[in-house]
């Protein structure tokens, strides 16, 4: 497990960037942490690291957003899920997420992943963000 404390949103984004640029495709990331913990900030950096040029925001209202990636050798799409408003795993399954989980050219990231724990793949990468101060967050990756 890796444990890092960031002191501002830029550092959190930089950490996301670093992870994003290392992903090969097929990974599923579970982001856990309270409102404002920095899940979306982390994923904005991660998306940049994957080669996405445009802006990434929380897909709270539409649950799932799919980004196409050009120019990355392996990863062709990024599936961004926000489980905050979901009542059950079934809602995600009906959106076809299990196909994204299995696709080795897709990276999937789930905000509020604790809400859909039942459908976590075995080898999910867990990223926990904890408020430790106004502008500091402890980020644990395992
Ligand atoms: N170290 C930090 N890392 C990430 N965000 C931070 C940090 N310090 C302060 N912030 C602020 O916290 C908020 C995090 O928002 P966001 O990433 O949308 O959270 P979440 O998606 O977890 O609800 C932003 O307003 C950001 O500016
Ligand atoms: Mg968010």
Helix, strand, or coil (residue 41): helix
Q: Is the pTM of this model over 0.75?
A: yes
36-45, 69-78, 80-89 — most confident range: 36-45
Ligand 1, from 4, 8, 9, 80: best to mutate by most atoms within 8 Å of Cβ? 9
Q: Residues lining ligand 1, judged by CB closer than 6 Å?
A: 6-9, 11-12, 33, 35-41, 58, 111, 135-137
- Between CA 86 and CA 111 the distance in angstroms is 11
- Between CA 22 and CA 115 the distance in angstroms is 27
**Which helix (H) or strand (E) covers residue 2, if one does?**
strand 2-6
Q: Report the DSSP pairing between strands 28-32 and 106-111.
A: parallel
Indicate whether 60 pLDDT > 80. Answer: no
Rounded to an integer, the average pLDDT of 76-99 is 94
Rounded to an integer, the average pLDDT of 38-60 is 94
Atom of ligand 1 nearest to the CA of 44: 17
- Between CA 103 and CA 108 the distance in angstroms is 9
Give the number of C-alpha atoms closer than 13 A to the C-alpha of residue 103, restricted to the C-beta side.
15
Q: Are 78 and 50 in contact (CB under 8 A)?
A: yes
Q: Are 27 and 125 in contact (CB under 8 A)?
A: yes
Ligand 1, from 31, 41, 137: best to mutate by most atoms within 8 Å of Cβ? 41
Q: What is the pLDDT of residue 34?
A: 96
- Between CA 67 and CA 123 the distance in angstroms is 23
Q: How far is the CA of 30 from the centre of ligand 2 (A)?
A: 12
Q: How confident is the model at residue 79 (pLDDT cuts 50, 70, 90)?
A: very high
């Amino acid at each position: 497990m890796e444990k890092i404390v960031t002191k501002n949103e830029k550092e959190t984004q930089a950490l996301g960037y670093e992870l994003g640029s290392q992903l090969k495709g097929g990974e599923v990331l579970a982001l856990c942490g309270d409102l404002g913990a920095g899940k979306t900030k982390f994923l904005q950096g991660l998306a940049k690291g994957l080669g996405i040029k445009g802006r990434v925001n929380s897909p709270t209202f539409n649950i799932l957003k799919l980004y196409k990636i050009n120019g990355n050798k392996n990863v062709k799409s990024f599936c961004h899920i926000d489980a905050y408003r979901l009542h059950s795993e079934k809602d995600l399954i009906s959106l076809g997420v299990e196909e994204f989980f299995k696709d080795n050219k897709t990276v999937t990231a789930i905000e509020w992943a604790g809400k859909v724990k039942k459908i976590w793949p075995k080898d999910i990468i867990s990223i926990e963000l904890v408020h430790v101060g106004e502008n500091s967050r402890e980020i644990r990756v395992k």
